[in-house]
Structure 1
Protein backbone atom coordinates (compact mmCIF):
# COMPACT_ATOMS: atom_id res chain seq x y z
CA UNK A 1 0.00 0.00 0.00
CA UNK A 2 1.22 3.50 -0.76
CA UNK A 3 1.77 5.26 2.52
CA UNK A 4 0.13 8.65 2.65
CA UNK A 5 -1.72 8.46 -0.67
CA UNK A 6 -3.70 11.68 -0.60
CA UNK A 7 -7.16 10.61 -1.73
CA UNK A 8 -9.44 13.62 -2.07
CA UNK A 9 -12.84 14.52 -3.41
CA UNK A 10 -12.62 15.74 -6.99
CA UNK A 11 -13.31 19.34 -7.90
CA UNK A 12 -14.56 20.69 -11.25
CA UNK A 13 -10.95 21.43 -12.17
CA UNK A 14 -10.21 17.69 -12.06
CA UNK A 15 -12.78 16.83 -14.76
CA UNK A 16 -10.44 17.18 -17.78
CA UNK A 17 -7.74 15.03 -16.16
CA UNK A 18 -10.22 12.34 -15.14
CA UNK A 19 -11.73 12.35 -18.64
CA UNK A 20 -8.31 12.02 -20.26
CA UNK A 21 -7.37 9.10 -18.01
CA UNK A 22 -10.71 7.45 -18.75
CA UNK A 23 -10.13 7.86 -22.49
CA UNK A 24 -6.62 6.41 -22.30
CA UNK A 25 -6.98 3.69 -19.66
CA UNK A 26 -10.62 2.59 -19.91
CA UNK A 27 -12.30 3.71 -23.12
CA UNK A 28 -9.43 3.08 -25.55
CA UNK A 29 -10.80 1.55 -28.75
CA UNK A 30 -14.34 2.66 -27.88
CA UNK A 31 -16.30 5.89 -28.33
CA UNK A 32 -15.15 8.36 -25.66
CA UNK A 33 -18.25 8.83 -23.50
CA UNK A 34 -16.73 10.12 -20.25
CA UNK A 35 -15.60 13.48 -21.54
CA UNK A 36 -15.02 16.41 -19.18
CA UNK A 37 -18.63 17.73 -19.14
CA UNK A 38 -19.98 14.31 -18.10
CA UNK A 39 -17.30 13.94 -15.43
CA UNK A 40 -18.11 17.45 -14.17
CA UNK A 41 -21.79 16.46 -13.85
CA UNK A 42 -20.75 13.41 -11.80
CA UNK A 43 -18.59 15.62 -9.57
CA UNK A 44 -21.55 17.94 -8.98
CA UNK A 45 -24.08 15.15 -8.38
CA UNK A 46 -25.19 14.65 -4.75
CA UNK A 47 -25.65 10.93 -5.49
CA UNK A 48 -22.07 10.37 -6.67
CA UNK A 49 -18.62 10.39 -5.10
CA UNK A 50 -15.69 11.22 -7.35
CA UNK A 51 -12.26 10.84 -5.78
CA UNK A 52 -8.79 11.44 -7.14
CA UNK A 53 -5.15 11.10 -6.24
CA UNK A 54 -2.84 13.77 -7.59
CA UNK A 55 -3.18 17.34 -8.79
CA UNK A 56 -5.64 18.26 -11.57
CA UNK A 57 -2.91 18.33 -14.20
CA UNK A 58 -1.48 14.94 -13.16
CA UNK A 59 -4.25 12.64 -11.91
CA UNK A 60 -2.63 9.38 -10.79
CA UNK A 61 -5.89 7.55 -10.01
CA UNK A 62 -9.60 8.17 -9.71
CA UNK A 63 -12.88 6.47 -8.92
CA UNK A 64 -16.50 7.44 -9.61
CA UNK A 65 -19.14 5.76 -7.44
CA UNK A 66 -22.88 6.41 -7.69
CA UNK A 67 -25.55 5.50 -5.15
CA UNK A 68 -29.17 4.52 -5.62
CA UNK A 69 -30.98 3.60 -2.42
CA UNK A 70 -28.88 0.83 -0.81
CA UNK A 71 -26.89 -0.02 -3.93
CA UNK A 72 -23.54 1.43 -4.99
CA UNK A 73 -22.20 1.31 -8.55
CA UNK A 74 -18.54 1.86 -9.32
CA UNK A 75 -18.98 3.60 -12.67
CA UNK A 76 -15.35 4.29 -13.51
CA UNK A 77 -12.05 3.44 -11.89
CA UNK A 78 -8.52 3.87 -13.21
CA UNK A 79 -4.90 4.18 -12.21
CA UNK A 80 -2.25 5.68 -14.50
CA UNK A 81 -0.03 2.91 -15.90
CA UNK A 82 3.07 4.38 -14.24
CA UNK A 83 1.40 4.12 -10.80
CA UNK A 84 -0.01 0.59 -11.02
CA UNK A 85 1.03 -2.35 -8.84
CA UNK A 86 1.95 -0.07 -5.92
CA UNK A 87 -1.27 -0.23 -3.90
CA UNK A 88 -2.73 3.05 -5.11
CA UNK A 89 -5.75 1.40 -6.73
CA UNK A 90 -6.33 -0.68 -3.61
CA UNK A 91 -6.24 2.47 -1.47
CA UNK A 92 -8.76 4.29 -3.68
CA UNK A 93 -11.05 1.25 -3.81
CA UNK A 94 -10.90 0.82 -0.01
CA UNK A 95 -11.82 4.52 0.42
CA UNK A 96 -14.81 4.13 -1.89
CA UNK A 97 -15.92 0.92 -0.16
CA UNK A 98 -15.72 2.57 3.27
CA UNK A 99 -17.89 5.45 2.04
CA UNK A 100 -20.38 3.00 0.48
CA UNK A 101 -20.66 1.18 3.81
CA UNK A 102 -21.17 4.46 5.65
CA UNK A 103 -23.87 5.40 3.11
CA UNK A 104 -25.70 2.14 3.91
CA UNK A 105 -24.97 0.32 0.65
CA UNK A 106 -25.58 -3.43 0.69
CA UNK A 107 -23.38 -4.10 -2.31
CA UNK A 108 -21.15 -2.55 -4.91
CA UNK A 109 -21.56 -3.36 -8.58
CA UNK A 110 -18.88 -2.81 -11.23
CA UNK A 111 -18.24 -3.84 -14.82
CA UNK A 112 -15.02 -4.67 -16.65
CA UNK A 113 -14.11 -5.58 -20.17
CA UNK A 114 -14.14 -9.32 -20.60
CA UNK A 115 -10.65 -9.18 -22.14
CA UNK A 116 -9.23 -7.06 -19.29
CA UNK A 117 -7.66 -9.82 -17.21
CA UNK A 118 -5.80 -7.34 -14.98
CA UNK A 119 -8.99 -5.51 -13.95
CA UNK A 120 -10.90 -8.73 -13.39
CA UNK A 121 -8.07 -10.10 -11.27
CA UNK A 122 -7.85 -6.84 -9.29
CA UNK A 123 -11.54 -6.91 -8.44
CA UNK A 124 -11.47 -10.63 -7.61
CA UNK A 125 -8.52 -10.04 -5.25
CA UNK A 126 -10.64 -7.43 -3.47
CA UNK A 127 -13.64 -9.70 -2.92
CA UNK A 128 -15.68 -8.97 -6.04
CA UNK A 129 -17.34 -11.93 -7.71
CA UNK A 130 -18.13 -12.25 -11.38
CA UNK A 131 -21.85 -12.75 -11.69
CA UNK A 132 -22.63 -12.44 -15.41
CA UNK A 133 -21.14 -12.03 -18.83
CA UNK A 134 -22.60 -9.17 -20.85
CA UNK A 135 -22.19 -9.69 -24.60
CA UNK A 136 -21.39 -6.54 -26.59
CA UNK A 137 -21.80 -4.44 -23.45
CA UNK A 138 -19.35 -1.78 -24.54
CA UNK A 139 -20.85 0.16 -27.47
CA UNK A 140 -21.85 -3.11 -29.10
CA UNK A 141 -18.16 -3.81 -29.70
CA UNK A 142 -16.77 -5.60 -26.66
CA UNK A 143 -18.09 -8.07 -24.13
CA UNK A 144 -18.18 -7.14 -20.48
CA UNK A 145 -18.27 -8.90 -17.14
CA UNK A 146 -20.54 -7.75 -14.31
CA UNK A 147 -19.07 -8.08 -10.84
CA UNK A 148 -20.38 -7.39 -7.36
CA UNK A 149 -19.26 -7.33 -3.78
CA UNK A 150 -21.70 -7.68 -0.92
CA UNK A 151 -20.94 -5.33 1.95
CA UNK A 152 -23.67 -6.80 4.13
CA UNK A 153 -25.86 -9.85 3.77
CA UNK A 154 -28.78 -9.57 1.35
CA UNK A 155 -32.14 -9.44 3.08
Structure 2
Protein backbone atom coordinates (compact mmCIF):
# COMPACT_ATOMS: atom_id res chain seq x y z
CA UNK A 1 0.00 0.00 0.00
CA UNK A 2 1.36 3.38 -1.01
CA UNK A 3 1.28 6.20 1.52
CA UNK A 4 0.27 9.52 -0.01
CA UNK A 5 1.58 12.85 1.28
CA UNK A 6 -0.64 15.04 3.40
CA UNK A 7 -2.90 17.48 1.56
CA UNK A 8 -3.27 20.86 3.25
CA UNK A 9 -3.88 24.51 2.47
CA UNK A 10 -0.86 26.12 0.85
CA UNK A 11 1.39 28.54 2.69
CA UNK A 12 2.49 31.89 1.23
CA UNK A 13 6.05 30.59 0.96
CA UNK A 14 4.78 27.95 -1.51
CA UNK A 15 3.27 30.38 -4.04
CA UNK A 16 6.44 30.39 -6.16
CA UNK A 17 6.59 26.59 -6.35
CA UNK A 18 2.89 26.39 -7.22
CA UNK A 19 3.26 29.03 -9.94
CA UNK A 20 6.33 27.28 -11.40
CA UNK A 21 4.50 23.96 -11.50
CA UNK A 22 1.58 25.64 -13.26
CA UNK A 23 3.91 27.27 -15.78
CA UNK A 24 5.81 24.06 -16.50
CA UNK A 25 2.98 21.52 -16.43
CA UNK A 26 -0.27 23.32 -17.25
CA UNK A 27 0.55 26.48 -19.16
CA UNK A 28 3.04 24.84 -21.52
CA UNK A 29 3.09 26.76 -24.80
CA UNK A 30 0.96 29.57 -23.35
CA UNK A 31 1.75 32.85 -21.66
CA UNK A 32 2.45 32.40 -17.95
CA UNK A 33 -0.70 33.67 -16.22
CA UNK A 34 -0.58 31.87 -12.86
CA UNK A 35 2.38 33.81 -11.53
CA UNK A 36 3.34 33.81 -7.84
CA UNK A 37 1.37 37.07 -7.38
CA UNK A 38 -1.79 35.52 -8.85
CA UNK A 39 -1.40 32.40 -6.73
CA UNK A 40 -1.03 34.64 -3.66
CA UNK A 41 -4.24 36.49 -4.58
CA UNK A 42 -6.02 33.14 -4.69
CA UNK A 43 -4.57 32.19 -1.31
CA UNK A 44 -5.92 35.41 0.17
CA UNK A 45 -9.39 34.95 -1.37
CA UNK A 46 -11.69 33.47 1.29
CA UNK A 47 -13.76 31.78 -1.44
CA UNK A 48 -10.75 29.89 -2.85
CA UNK A 49 -8.79 26.88 -1.61
CA UNK A 50 -5.19 26.53 -2.71
CA UNK A 51 -4.15 23.07 -1.59
CA UNK A 52 -0.77 21.37 -1.79
CA UNK A 53 0.59 17.90 -1.45
CA UNK A 54 3.76 18.63 0.47
CA UNK A 55 6.41 16.25 1.64
CA UNK A 56 9.61 17.24 3.40
CA UNK A 57 9.05 20.87 2.42
CA UNK A 58 8.60 20.18 -1.29
CA UNK A 59 5.40 20.90 -3.24
CA UNK A 60 4.64 17.65 -5.09
CA UNK A 61 1.32 18.82 -6.50
CA UNK A 62 -1.42 21.36 -5.99
CA UNK A 63 -5.04 22.19 -6.72
CA UNK A 64 -6.91 25.48 -6.74
CA UNK A 65 -10.68 25.59 -6.33
CA UNK A 66 -13.00 28.59 -6.18
CA UNK A 67 -16.38 28.30 -4.44
CA UNK A 68 -19.65 30.01 -5.40
CA UNK A 69 -23.03 29.69 -3.71
CA UNK A 70 -23.98 26.19 -4.92
CA UNK A 71 -21.04 25.16 -7.08
CA UNK A 72 -17.27 25.12 -7.22
CA UNK A 73 -14.76 25.58 -10.02
CA UNK A 74 -11.54 23.58 -10.10
CA UNK A 75 -9.23 26.18 -11.60
CA UNK A 76 -5.95 24.28 -11.65
CA UNK A 77 -4.52 20.87 -10.82
CA UNK A 78 -0.94 19.72 -11.30
CA UNK A 79 1.38 17.00 -10.05
CA UNK A 80 5.14 16.81 -10.57
CA UNK A 81 5.68 14.77 -13.76
CA UNK A 82 7.81 12.08 -12.10
CA UNK A 83 5.08 11.48 -9.48
CA UNK A 84 2.11 11.03 -11.80
CA UNK A 85 0.06 7.84 -11.92
CA UNK A 86 0.59 7.23 -8.20
CA UNK A 87 -2.79 8.54 -7.00
CA UNK A 88 -1.63 12.00 -5.94
CA UNK A 89 -3.82 13.86 -8.47
CA UNK A 90 -6.85 11.82 -7.39
CA UNK A 91 -6.04 12.56 -3.75
CA UNK A 92 -5.88 16.32 -4.46
CA UNK A 93 -9.19 16.28 -6.37
CA UNK A 94 -10.93 14.22 -3.69
CA UNK A 95 -9.69 16.62 -1.00
CA UNK A 96 -11.21 19.55 -2.92
CA UNK A 97 -14.42 17.57 -3.55
CA UNK A 98 -14.76 16.96 0.19
CA UNK A 99 -14.35 20.69 0.80
CA UNK A 100 -16.99 21.41 -1.85
CA UNK A 101 -19.45 19.03 -0.20
CA UNK A 102 -18.88 20.68 3.18
CA UNK A 103 -19.43 24.09 1.55
CA UNK A 104 -22.77 22.87 0.17
CA UNK A 105 -21.69 22.64 -3.48
CA UNK A 106 -23.68 20.28 -5.63
CA UNK A 107 -21.57 20.66 -8.75
CA UNK A 108 -17.92 21.16 -9.62
CA UNK A 109 -16.87 22.62 -12.96
CA UNK A 110 -13.48 22.64 -14.70
CA UNK A 111 -11.85 23.16 -18.07
CA UNK A 112 -9.03 21.17 -19.59
CA UNK A 113 -7.05 21.59 -22.74
CA UNK A 114 -8.67 19.61 -25.52
CA UNK A 115 -5.18 18.52 -26.61
CA UNK A 116 -4.39 16.95 -23.21
CA UNK A 117 -5.63 13.38 -23.60
CA UNK A 118 -4.01 12.24 -20.34
CA UNK A 119 -5.83 14.89 -18.29
CA UNK A 120 -9.13 14.19 -20.03
CA UNK A 121 -8.82 10.46 -19.31
CA UNK A 122 -7.93 11.25 -15.67
CA UNK A 123 -11.05 13.37 -15.18
CA UNK A 124 -13.26 10.81 -16.93
CA UNK A 125 -11.96 8.12 -14.59
CA UNK A 126 -12.99 10.32 -11.65
CA UNK A 127 -16.55 10.66 -12.95
CA UNK A 128 -16.35 14.03 -14.70
CA UNK A 129 -18.56 14.56 -17.76
CA UNK A 130 -17.63 16.72 -20.75
CA UNK A 131 -20.38 19.30 -21.29
CA UNK A 132 -18.97 21.52 -24.05
CA UNK A 133 -16.04 22.29 -26.30
CA UNK A 134 -14.91 25.92 -26.23
CA UNK A 135 -13.06 26.92 -29.38
CA UNK A 136 -9.93 29.00 -28.76
CA UNK A 137 -10.41 29.10 -24.99
CA UNK A 138 -6.68 29.30 -24.37
CA UNK A 139 -5.25 32.44 -26.00
CA UNK A 140 -7.52 32.00 -28.99
CA UNK A 141 -5.43 29.03 -30.14
CA UNK A 142 -6.23 25.96 -28.09
CA UNK A 143 -9.69 24.54 -27.47
CA UNK A 144 -10.89 23.57 -24.01
CA UNK A 145 -13.34 20.95 -22.91
CA UNK A 146 -15.72 22.08 -20.19
CA UNK A 147 -16.42 19.39 -17.66
CA UNK A 148 -18.53 18.99 -14.58
CA UNK A 149 -19.09 16.54 -11.80
CA UNK A 150 -22.21 16.27 -9.66
CA UNK A 151 -21.45 15.68 -6.01
CA UNK A 152 -23.37 13.25 -3.87
CA UNK A 153 -23.98 13.92 -0.19
- Structure 1 length-normalised TM: 0.94
Structure 1: tracts of 5 or more residues without a match: none
> What does residue 112 of structure 1 align with?
112
CA distance in 1, matches of 2:56, 2:4: 18
Question: Which residue in the other structure is 1:51 paired with?
Answer: 51
Asked if the contact 2:74/2:108 (under 8 Å) is kept, the reply is yes
1:77-117 Cα offsets, whole Å, 9 max, x none, are 00110110000111111111011001000100010000100
Q: Which residue number in structure 2 is paired with residue 75 of structure 1?
A: 75
Superposed displacement of residue 58, structure 1: 3.0
Alpha-carbon contact 1:127-1:149 (below 8 Å) kept: yes
What's the secondary structure of 2:144's corresponding residue? strand
Report if aligned partners of 1:111, 1:146 keep a CA contact under 8 Å in 2: yes
The whole-number CA distance in structure 2 between the counterparts of 1:65 and 1:137 is 19
* Whole-angstrom distance in 2 between the partners of 1:38 and 1:52: 16
Please give the TM-score of this superposition, normalised by the length of structure 2: 0.95
- Report deviation, 1:2: 4.2
Displacement of 1:56 in angstroms is 9.1
Matched pairs, number = 153
Would the aligned equivalents of 2:113 and 2:143 in 1 still touch at CA under 8 Å? yes
Map of 1:38 onto structure 2: 38
Distance of aligned partners of 1:125 and 1:131 in 2 relative to their CA distance in 1, 3 Å threshold: same
- For the 8 Å contact 2:111–2:147, the answer to whether it is kept is yes
SS of structure 2 residue aligned to 1:30: coil
Structure 2 unaligned residues grouped into runs of 5+: none
Point out 4+ residue stretches in structure 1 off by more than 2 angstroms: 55-58
In structure 2, what is the equivalent of residue 28 of structure 1? 28
Indicate conservation of the 8 Å contact 1:109/1:148, yes or no: yes
